[in-house]
Structure 1
């Protein structure tokens, strides 16, 4: 299937690892030009080196959890060209009891997980609408719909991305611009491996046993009873960004293996 993404300019924030890097790779395999973003120049350059054989890769180091970092990223992207696809992937999470989360940490969650998407969407969406083509995809989480006691701030910071996506989709009415959110479930990445390690420690359980029995004990409603792969999530994002998905707008697309027991 030709997704008609050749030569489209794509920005994936937080793409030096995990789902972000996998998404960048999938876009490159479809012929798109991809901008890698991460907090450090070293991390960005490492991914450029890894993926450059697949196509045209740019890199911009910027901390999008801060307004000045977003502004720097916006300016550098505009120097490269007109952005066709924005994937707001950057996010933070930590296993921590609710009562131990400080106000400073709450604000960091909001700045990183929510305002980064708001700032970048505000910068790039109007120009997409002027050109009558564009895609904005916000990485939410099943935790934003099915909250977890050990990840309360993370869940609270992911729910707004679903609302943001639907609200911005309403703004695009009558254009060829779409805005959607993607809700991954447990996906085996470096970050999720650390989450599992922390959760096993918190529960005082052997790590190998905890990993093997995670779905049986902690996610019994999962229909696939396994971790999603980075490629499965990335390919969903890439499809939503394609011209083949032009009729999909304002949707919260779940990629969580059926953990959420709901028809909607």
Structure 2
């Protein structure tokens, strides 16, 4: 399968590291012009430099903007008015007991993980519909389906993304624009990698042992028996953004290593 996105412009939120960075690289490798986004200028600049080294003939734009705020979203839209592909990737999570999560923490997480994608979709999708082609992907999580008891707030935001993506797919049905969710499982992203490194150092074990400990205690249903790489997640996202995936819309696609025990 030859995925060719030449002539397409992709906006990938939260793309200076982790899954977003891998998605940006995958889309660039397929020929798309890619817009890198992050909240700190130095990280945006570093990601741009890396990608321009990897793809000397590629087309990249960097936008420093906090998409958890209306003002930050407006900055992005002013600098990048239109896009053919939108990957709503930006987000975070943190383990914390439910009874210790303050109202402000719920709201802040919802603004970043959910409202960022709502704002971006609301801005970019009308022109996609007008042009008769577009791809919107929400990076959700297996936690949207298998709710972890120590990250209920995070799981709530990821389940919300599934509802938004399905609803938007209904709205733009038959227009040539597709909307889907991709659900990673445990992945060696910047955030999870940082957790595993900290756990390994705290216990005096290797990072690999820390990952296996996490899988056995927190994700015992994993069939992969290892963390996925960010590239493995990005491969599915790039496919969903391709012409070849034109009949795939309104669905949730898991790249979770078999963590969720369901056949549907």
Cα distance in 1 for residues equivalent to 2:40 and 2:259: 35
Unpaired segments ≥5 residues, structure 2:
none
- Residue 56 of structure 1 corresponds to which residue in structure 2? 59
Q: Which runs of structure 2 are paired with 1:19-98 in the superposition (5 Å)?
A: 19-53=19-53, 54=55, 55-78=58-81, 82-98=82-98
Cα offset for 1:213?
2.9
Cα offset for 1:126?
0.8
Cα distance in 1 for residues equivalent to 2:243 and 2:79: 26
**Residue pair 1:134, 1:178 contacting (<8 A) in 2 also:** yes
**Residue pair 1:17, 1:190 contacting (<8 A) in 2 also:** yes
Structure 1 counterpart SS, 2:68: coil
How many residues in Structure 1 have an aligned counterpart in Structure 2?
Answer: 259
Superposed CA deviations along residues 130-182 of structure 1, whole A, max 9, x for unmatched, are 11000100011001111112211111111010011110000111111000000
Cα offset for 1:232?
0.6
- Residue 256 of structure 2 corresponds to which residue in structure 1? 256
**Residue pair 1:182, 1:254 contacting (<8 A) in 2 also:** yes
TM-score by length of 1: 0.94
Query: Aligned pair 1:230/2:230, yes or no?
Result: yes
Q: Which runs of structure 2 are paired with 1:165-244 in the superposition (5 Å)?
A: 165-196=165-196, 206-208=204-206, 209-244=209-244
**Residue pair 1:143, 1:158 contacting (<8 A) in 2 also:** yes
Cα offset for 1:200?
7.2
Question: Over the residues paired in the alignment, what is the CA RMSD in angstroms?
Answer: 1.6
Cα offset for 1:206?
5.0
Cα distance in 2 for residues equivalent to 1:110 and 1:40: 20
Unpaired segments ≥5 residues, structure 1:
none
Cα distance in 2 for residues equivalent to 1:71 and 1:161: 21
Runs of 4 or more above 2 Å deviation? 194-201, 204-218
Superposed CA deviations along residues 27-62 of structure 1, whole A, max 9, x for unmatched, are 111111000000011111110000013111110000
Cα offset for 1:205?
5.1
